A and B are shown apart, each in its own frame.
Chain A
Amino acid sequence: MIEIKGLKKKFGDNQTLCGIDLTVDSDIIFAIVGPDGAGKTTLLRILAGIMRPDDGLINILGHDIVKNPESAKRYTGYLSQRFSLNPTLTVAENIDFFGTLYEVPKSRKEDRLKRLLEFSRLGPFKDRQAGKLSGGMKQKLALCCALIHTPRILLLDEPTTGVDPISRRELWEILYDLLAQGVMILVSTPYMDEAERAGEIMMLHRGKTLARGNLEDLKSKFHHKLYEMVCDDGRKAFEIIVGQLGDDRVVFFGDRLHLALDSEQQMLTLKTFIADAGLKINSLDQISPGLEDIFMQELLYAK
């Protein structure tokens, strides 16, 4: 239903997207994950029809949106990264306003409004001005506004950035509900743990696709042995490892270190180095990789 080929976009000297290819053809939650500046927002904005790409083909539900950016707008809902509704309008007025802009017939609009308020649990706040809502509620309201015209595809740009953990969980529950109703969801996020909730994941880095697939696919592509190490002086251990293997094999996770190694032999050699430096290793276990480990490995391969 979404088909992207060779998508390119440049801002000044900065090649934000350098040839993205992507096909999403089933109803899933598709996560685009990557650090700030990876090109996530640019990609979503192009799909939403508010930015023209420099090159490439995009087909959304049979509409060529490079040729005609307006053609798919009725079937897509887009939620921008920051809260962007009218703060002086109430919850209900905001939803109604977008309903009118999308030309939803009046009778359907009222019915839809009722259902959206119910399902976002914003019903009790429907007469409150949007500017006076909490962060999580604002995000839910924005989502309702993007859903008033029953889009087939929902584009969400970092919907959980700056949202508290409880609201974040609620938001994901809503997304699963929507998925069950047959809405395809493209969601961008800088948080790896969050991307793990999605059915399929695309890792984006500096405008290039690093890897793509569901969580299992991605894990199976992890060719290193991953070790988690806890050390008394983690900082010093980190320096020793970097001295031995370079800085792309080791990452801090809180007070733990994740080491992506080629073999058990390499681990044992490293262990003696650390012990020789007089550092005490509290634990060292092989673990299964998370998305962040995979991302680091893919970065390494990309080099």
Chain B
Amino acid sequence: MNRIYFIAWKEFIQLLRDRRTLGLMLIAPAIQLVVFGYVATTEVKKNKMVVCDYSRTPDSRHFTDGFLSSGYFEIYDYVTDDSEIDRCLDRGKAVVGIIIPPDFSRNIKRGKETSVGIYIDGTNSNLAMILAGYLRMITNQYSRKISINYIKGLGIDPPDLVESRSRVWFNEELKSVNFMVPGVMAMLTLMLLLNLTALGIVRERERGTAEQLSVTPIKPLELIMGKIVPPVFIGYLIITLVMVVGLVWFNIGFAGSVLLLYLFALFFIIAALSAGLLISTFSQTADQAMWTNQVFVIPNILLSGFIFPISNMPEPIQLATYFLPMRYFLQIIRGIFMRGAGFAQHWDEALILLLWGVVVIFLASMRLKKRLV
């Protein structure tokens, strides 16, 4: 026990004395938080729009106003020729172009169908999808108003139509930062712990310190326990750091229990450490370990639901995501952060995480026994 404590102490001292690494370890989360909190937002506001209004009537004016008042769009320019819309889109001056035909108002007055041309810059397909949705919604609202007015004009009370009033739960303002902060938390914890364990062990092997340790009577298990303790602390430090910044700086909501978060975080930390241990058994050099870490981290980031919803992925990939520990932790912490979920909602995911960690630790220790040095 004393020896485990001493190894851990040594690891802490090494970590604290290596100022540069320590600094990078703290700066990285800060940068990631800013990037994901401010930049990688999925809300779209004030998108530039070019309007080519051949109709020039109060009706057409009313129609375009509908887009502006939504807040999602603003006018980049009014043009007189539709070829100019092409130009604006080509140059990236605007992302949406609208052409209102000359007979727009006349057709409406006659109760005939009329169509408007809408062009969307599809370069950013995600954005284009979202904008298309907004455009459809606003256009539908406008045509409904026309129908109602038409019916009223006939002297009939308009019938009650079905109106969808959707209310978003758990993230009422649909602020992407609420969604991103838990993701950043999981991602950073995974990356950091993987590097600390895998690189830490491989570097000792590379430097020959592992050999000098192995001539002492210390048991490999004691050595590994000692090496694992500091990363566990670092993992909790990062989780706390991200949480505090999220709550204080980004003002995100936290509906659940911090204690529960910390409990489930332990399972994720164990999973990340065990992955690091396993990777260390496959790597001869720190370089190899670093790249192997990437191979593990990238699918976890891309496929865990952090960036792309899992339900949109092709079926085989969806199945593959069940092997990613970050998938489970992300579901757990998003649940705790946004829905205030309790133990009952997430114990199964936590159990899978724990199992994952135990299996991988077992594999790693089978291999470590053979080649600690």
Contact = CB atoms under 8 A, between A and B. Distances in A.
Interface stretch (A77-85, A114-122, A236-244): A77-85
Interface stretch (A5-13, A15-23, A99-107, A257-265): A99-107
B217 A102 contact: yes
Nearest to A80: B211
A81 B207 CA distance: 11
B154 interface: no
Contact of B2 (A48, A78, A88, A100): A100
Given A100-B2, A103-B3, A85 B10 contact: no
A290 interface: no
Interface in A60-117: 70, 73-74, 76-78, 80, 82-89, 93, 97-98, 100-103
B6 A101 contact: yes
B205 to A, nearest CB: 10
A50 B214 CA distance: 7
A49 interface: yes
Contact of A80 (B14, B212, B218): B212
B373 interface: yes
A248 to B, nearest CB: 36
Contacts of A76: 215
Nearest to B15: A88
B3 A101 contact: yes
A86 B214 CA distance: 14
B216 A80 contact: no
User: SS class of chain A's interface: helix, strand, loop or mixed?
Assistant: loop
B165 interface: no
Contacts of A70: 217
Interface in B183-225: 207-209, 211-218
Nearest to B214: A50
A24 to B, nearest CB: 19
B17 interface: yes
A264 B31 CA distance: 83
A142 B208 CA distance: 12
Contacts of B213: 101
Contact of A73 (B6, B10, B14, B217): B217
B13 interface: yes
Contact of A83 (B17, B208, B214): B208
A84 B209 CA distance: 4
Contacts of B209: 84-86
Contacts of B163: none
A145 interface: yes
B18 interface: yes
B6 A80 contact: no
A83 to B, nearest CB: 7
A73 B216 contact: yes
Interface residues of A, number: 28
A195 B114 CA distance: 102
Contacts of B208: 80, 82-84
B17 A145 contact: no
B12 to A, nearest CB: 11
- Could you say which of B10, B14, B212, B218 has the most chain A C-beta atoms within 10 Å of its C-beta? B212
A298 to B, nearest CB: 31
A89 B14 contact: yes
B14 A85 contact: no
- Could you say which of A82, A97, A129 has the most chain B C-beta atoms within 10 Å of its C-beta? A97
Nearest to B9: A97
A129 B13 CA distance: 12
A44 B10 CA distance: 27
A84 B213 CA distance: 9
A76 to B, nearest CB: 7
B3 A100 contact: yes
Contact of B215 (A48, A86, A89, A97): A48
B292 to A, nearest CB: 24
Nearest to B210: A84
A89 B10 contact: yes
Contacts of A80: 208, 211-212
A20 B207 CA distance: 30
A86 B14 contact: yes
Given A73-B216, A100-B6, 20 more contacts: A50-B373, A73-B215, A78-B215, A80-B208, A80-B212, A83-B208, A84-B207, A84-B208, A84-B212, A85-B209, A86-B209, A87-B207, A89-B14, A97-B6, A100-B2, A101-B6, A101-B216, A101-B218, A103-B3, A142-B212
Interface of A: 48-50, 70, 73-74, 76-78, 80, 82-89, 93, 97-98, 100-103, 129, 142, 145
Interface of B: 2-3, 6, 10, 13-14, 17-18, 207-209, 211-218, 373
Question: Which 7 A-B pairs rank lowest in CB-CB distance, beginning with the nearest?
Answer: A84-B208, A101-B216, A78-B215, A88-B17, A84-B212, A100-B6, A88-B14
27 contacts: A49-B215, A50-B214, A73-B215, A73-B217, A77-B215, A78-B212, A80-B208, A80-B212, A82-B208, A83-B208, A84-B208, A84-B211, A87-B207, A88-B14, A89-B14, A93-B10, A97-B6, A97-B10, A100-B2, A100-B3, A101-B3, A101-B217, A101-B218, A102-B216, A102-B217, A103-B217, A129-B17
